[in-house]
Structure 1
Amino acid sequence: MRKLTILGTGFAMATKCFNTCFFLELEDGSLFLTDAGGGNGILRQLEVTGFDYQKCHHMFVTHGHTDHVLGVIWIMRKVADLMNKGKYEGTFHIYCHDVVKEMLLTMTKMTLKKKDFARVGTDIVIHEMKDGQSVEVPTAKLTAFDILSTKAKQFGYCLNFADGMKFTCLGDEPYNEHDRVYAEQADWLLAEAFCQYKDREVFKPYEKNHSTVKEASELAEQLGVKNLVLYHTEDKHLDTRKQEYSAEAGKYYHGNVYVPDDLEVIPL
């Protein structure tokens, strides 16, 4: 059974939950990681889940903001260390756009041990993706797409599985019509929802180029999405977030709504 494990649900400056990132467990048992938060806290999050690095050979990085890319350095260090100890077989593939690729190469060259950095480019391969480009990953076809961010360049992706399931990650900014083909009629849509609509004057989501629960839910309804996962939120209402966000989403969207907590597992 496919599973989605949410490693973090919070925005960049969240202190009460981890930054937004997650991994998929695919039907063949392999793991597919997306983003890694803003530091080595990613190692703890993965450890708590029982994450098996040997089963993870593919990762997607959406963009170069601190809360998404800095943890990737720690993942690369961890994998390189495992390789050097003979505890990781095969190649670790990272998919991202050109800006993130350059960031990862620059930061790892500056910060990793020489023997760890020596793995980059040979056993740890960073693949530069173009808008609309597809590659084969275990059990699915991965297609990257530019979300046309008004801030930093950012890509989302769509996974199309052999059995017809369509899984789409929109990144952490509002939807752009450029990407309709990847999001429309998705079985699973992962979308940011910074706060409730009633709290928009408090958290100022539009100033940060983010959406509220209302907009994300209206989008999912419009696109005919079956299952909607809301994350990348403010962290001031964690005790009531699941209940309140789900209730607001239900006013605008008639599919299944998931407002996960950190480390929550969702069967797909």
Structure 2
Amino acid sequence: MKLTMLGTGNALVSECYNTCFVLSENDEYFLVDGGGGNGILHQLKHVGMDWKDMRTIFVTHKHLDHIMGAVWMIRMICQHMSQGRYEGEATIYAHDEVIGLLRGMAENLLQKKQTKFLDERLHLVAVEDGETKTILGRATTFFDIHSTKAKQFGFCMDLGEGRKLTCCGDEPYNDSEKSYVENSTWLLHEAFCLYSQADIFSPYEKHHSTVKDACELAESMGAANLVLYHTEDRNLGRRKELYTEEGKNYYHGNLYVPEDLEVLAL
């Protein structure tokens, strides 16, 4: 299985794309979030992926930097279905509020000849807290991260042989997530900025973590591998170096600070 980071930035970045990624295995793909617009199509193209292969999509929450790219995916899928240039079906998972928003935007922004494929071939599926679906042939459990802002879900994927990948969304860890996060083989967690630059970026006011916070969490939870994303972009040129340097003081597992379009083998 591979993890391809299409975007690694927070909502207001301009030097990289908003956080979204693809898990892939055996020519199957799982797209998580879409970033803030049709840049999702550019990112997929430039990493060598065909947007038509994104047959399973998950949208964590309704913030613009996550949901708008998914709207563009809906448009592309439905438009090509209406033109007879898209074979088969596709599924978008999200909690009920996001599914309602996606359906409403599609029905209000797209043509009826396109939206007629909603539920017929493009399935908008609301998932509940603790509900498990099979994705990439793996048991994948969605969970409420209990956000203090917009309702948001993460997920935990069973990688087999006691291994698991846990995505905490784009907010700090909540104790309600412990059963999913603890002993993760791969933990995906946001890190808005360096702890040493918290006075510049004010992450706590935005309900986000610093590198130090995320690394201390991963250390305490026994995560073997930690991937940091959803960052600021003012340190982009040295982000990997700076974040790794700070993080290694608090976390002794394998720390990854990927760039946009970087691929990690899981």
The TM-score, its normalising length taken from structure 1, stands at 0.96
Contact 1:144 1:157 in 2 (8 A): yes
Give the Å deviation of 1:164: 3.6
The gaps in structure 2 that reach 5 residues or longer are none
Aligned twin of 1:239: 237
- For 1:99, the equivalent position in structure 2 comes to 97
2:186 equivalent in structure 1: 188
Divergent runs of 4+, >4 A: none
1:157 maps to 2:138: no
1:31 is the counterpart of 2:29? yes
**RMSD after superposition:** 1.1
Deviation at 1:163, TM superposition (A): 4.1
Kindly provide the amino acid, as one letter, of the partner of residue 63 in structure 1. H
- Please show how residues 218-229 of structure 1 align to structure 2 within 5 Å: 218-229=216-227
Q: Secondary structure at the match of 2:149?
A: coil
1:148 partner letter:
H
Partner SS, residue 55 of structure 2: strand
SS in 1 for 2:23: strand
The 5 A counterparts of 1:1-268 are 2-26=1-25, 28-268=26-266
Contact 1:189 1:228 in 2 (8 A): yes
Question: How far is 1:55 from its partner?
Answer: 3.1
How far does residue 54 in structure 1 lie from its aligned partner after superposition? 4.1
Distance between the aligned counterparts of 2:51 and 2:197, measured in 1? 40
Give per-residue Cα distances to partners, 1:29-49, cap 9 Å, x unaligned: 201000001111111111111
Superposition deviation, residue 21 in structure 1 = 0.3
Counterpart residue identity of residue 130, structure 2: G
Letter of the 1:205 counterpart: P
Q: Is the 8 A contact 1:139 1:161 kept in 2?
A: no
Contact 2:8 2:17 in 1 (8 A): yes
* Per-residue deviation, 1:87: 3.5
Rounded Cα–Cα distance in structure 1 between residues aligned with 2:29 and 2:143: 21
Percent of counterpart pairs with the same letter? 49
Preserved CA contact (<8 Å) 1:188 1:226: yes
Structure 1 runs not aligned, ≥5 long: none
Of the structure 1 ranges 85-94 and 171-180, higher mean CA displacement relative to structure 2 is found in 85-94
Q: Distance in 2 between matches of 1:163 and 1:59?
A: 25
SS of 2:260's partner is: coil
- What one-letter code is carried by the residue in structure 1 that aligns with 2:257? V
TM-superposed deviation, 1:209: 0.1
Per-residue deviation at 1:198?
A: 0.8
In the TM superposition, what is the alpha-carbon distance from 1:153 to its structure 2 partner? Answer: 0.4
C-alpha distance in 2 between matches for 1:166 and 1:78: 32
User: CA–CA distance in 1 between the matches of 2:216 and 2:185?
Assistant: 16
For 1:21-69, what per-residue CA distance to the aligned partner results, in whole angstroms no more than 9, with x for missing partners? Answer: 000112x220100000111111111111121244332111000000000
How many residue pairs get matched? 266
| Aligned 8 A contact 2:36 2:64 in 1 | yes
Contact in 2 for aligned 1:4/1:267 (Cα 8 Å): yes
**Separation in 2, partners of 1:215, 1:161:** 26
Q: Distance in 1 between matches of 2:57 and 2:181?
A: 20
Q: Describe the SS at the equivalent of 2:44.
A: helix
Could you report, residue by residue, the CA deviation over 1:139-195 in whole angstroms, capped at 9, with x for unpaired residues? 201100000000000000011134443111100000001011111111111000000
Distance 1:164 1:80, change over 3 A: farther
Preserved contact between residue 45 and residue 51 of structure 2 (Cα < 8 Å): no
Tell me how far 1:138 sits from its aligned partner: 2.4
For residues 6-31 of structure 1, give each alpha carbon's deviation from its aligned partner in whole angstroms, at most 9, with x where no partner exists. 010111011111000000112x2201
2:75 touches 2:110 (CA, 8 Å); kept in 1?
yes
Partners of 1:263 and 1:53 lie apart in 2 by: 15
Give the TM-score taking structure 2 as reference length: 0.97
Q: What's the CA shift for 1:122?
A: 1.3
Aligned 8 A contact 1:21 1:35 in 2: yes
